[in-house]
Structure 1
Amino acid sequence: MFKKINWDALGVTTSVLCAIHCAILPLVIATLPVLGINIIHNPLFENGMIGLAFVIGTRAMWHGFRHHHQHLMPWLLFLGGMIFLVSKQIWHHFELALLPFAVVLIVTAHILNYRLSRRPRNFPIV
Structure 2
Amino acid sequence: MADRVGAVASFLCAIHCALLPFMIAALPFLGMEFLADHRFERGFVMFACVLALLVLVRGFRRHRWSLPLLLAAPGLGLLLLGVTYAESYSIVLHSALVTCGGLLLAAAHFINLRRDHRGDGHVHGPQCAH
Do both share a fold (TM > 0.5)?
yes
Aligned length: 115
Pair 108,37 (structure 1): closer, same or farther in 2 beyond 3 Å = closer
Q: CA deviation at 1:38?
A: 4.1
Gaps of 5+ in 1: 1-5
RMSD: 2.2
Runs ≥4 in structure 1, deviation > 6 angstroms?
none
1:36 is displaced (CA, Å) by 7.8
The structure 1 residue matched to 2:124, chosen from 95, 118, 121, is 121
Amino acid corresponding to residue 123 of structure 2 in structure 1: P
Structure 2 segments unaligned to the other structure (5+ residues):
126-130
Between the aligned partners of 1:63 and 1:23, the Cα distance in structure 2 is 29
Instruction: State yes or no: 1:76 paired with 2:77.
Output: no
8 Å CA contact retained: 1:7, 1:59: no
Q: Deviations over 1:67-109 (max 9, x none)?
A: x301222112112101000111212321133233212211121
TM-score by length of 2: 0.73
Residue 116 of structure 1 aligns with an amino acid whose one-letter code is R
2 CA distance for matches of 1:113 and 1:74? 6
Between the aligned partners of 2:27 and 2:96, the Cα distance in structure 1 is 24
- Alpha-carbon distance, 1:27 to partner: 4.0
Residue 99 of structure 1: aligned partner: 98
Letter in 2 for 1:56: L
**Identity level (%):** 32
- For the residues of structure 2 that align with 1:15 and 1:36, how far apart are their CA atoms? 19
Matched, 1:18 2:21: no
